[in-house]
Structure formats: structure tokens, C-alpha cells
Amino acid sequence: MLIASYFVGRDKNNAAVCIVVSGVFLDGYIAKENDLIFNTGRTDLVHTFEQDGHSDGFILPDLPVDIVNLLSNGESINIVDIDANQAFVCAIGVASEIGL
């Protein structure tokens, strides 16, 4: 599934602190892996998850350069779902839930 509407939460110094989505994390959602896909002119984040025993995933297209650099350098960023009141730590290769 392509998530065309997301935004980047930033601190007062304009540094990225989270990626915010709405209504993506459903009951029974278990985060699995993350990967960057480099395309001509853009970089997408592919996030895979398991729900009710089935694998699925979503794509966050055209990530801002600072987030691509952060993830490419082995750092992480939180993905926050404001409707589901859930958040996951996103690092390339792995994802894990954090409490809100």
C-alpha cells in the first residue's frame, strides 16, 4: 500500500524527529523490517509488517533527503500513527514498537 499522505515532525532547529501517518497501524499490527529503495530522483521507504498472520507492507514515497541520510547512516526515526496512537522505531533492517 502506498501512503501518499504523511508528514515529517521537526524540532525547533528543523531537525526531523518523526514521520507522522494517520490510520495505518491497525489492531494486531507487528512491525518487521524497513528498507530504502533508491529510484531516479527520489528515495522511498518500504516498511513490512505482519497482521493476523499475513505479511503486508507500505511505502512512504519520496522521503526528504535528511531522513534518507539519517537512515542510511544507521540511525533511526519514529513512525507515529496519530489515529492508532501507536509508534514504531524505524531503522533500516528492523522495526520495533515503542509506547506512546
| 47-61 confidence digits (pLDDT tens) | 888 878 888 888 999
In whole angstroms, what is the distance from residue 47 CA to residue 2 CA? Answer: 10
**Tens of pLDDT along 24-47?**
877 777 778 899 999 889 999 998
pTM over 0.75: yes
Could you tell me how far CA 53 lies from the centroid of its own chain? 21
Distance of CA 87 to the CA centre of its chain: 9
Phi, psi angles (nearest 5°) of residue 14:
70, 15
Check whether 68 has a pLDDT greater than 70: yes
What span, in angstroms and rounded, lies between the C-alpha atoms of 33 and 43? 16
> What 3-state class would DSSP assign to 46?
strand
Q: What is the pLDDT of residue 98?
A: 61
In the prediction, which pLDDT does 96 show? Answer: 60
In the chain, pLDDT over 90 holds for what percent of residues?
54
Neighbouring residues of 65: CB distance < 8 A, sequence distance ≥ 6: none
Does the structure show a pLDDT above 70 at 97? no
Q: Is pLDDT above 90 for 77?
A: yes
Tell me how far apart the alpha carbons of residues 39 and 42 are, in angstroms, rounded to a whole number.
Answer: 5
Give the Cα separation of 15 and 53 in Å (integer): 36
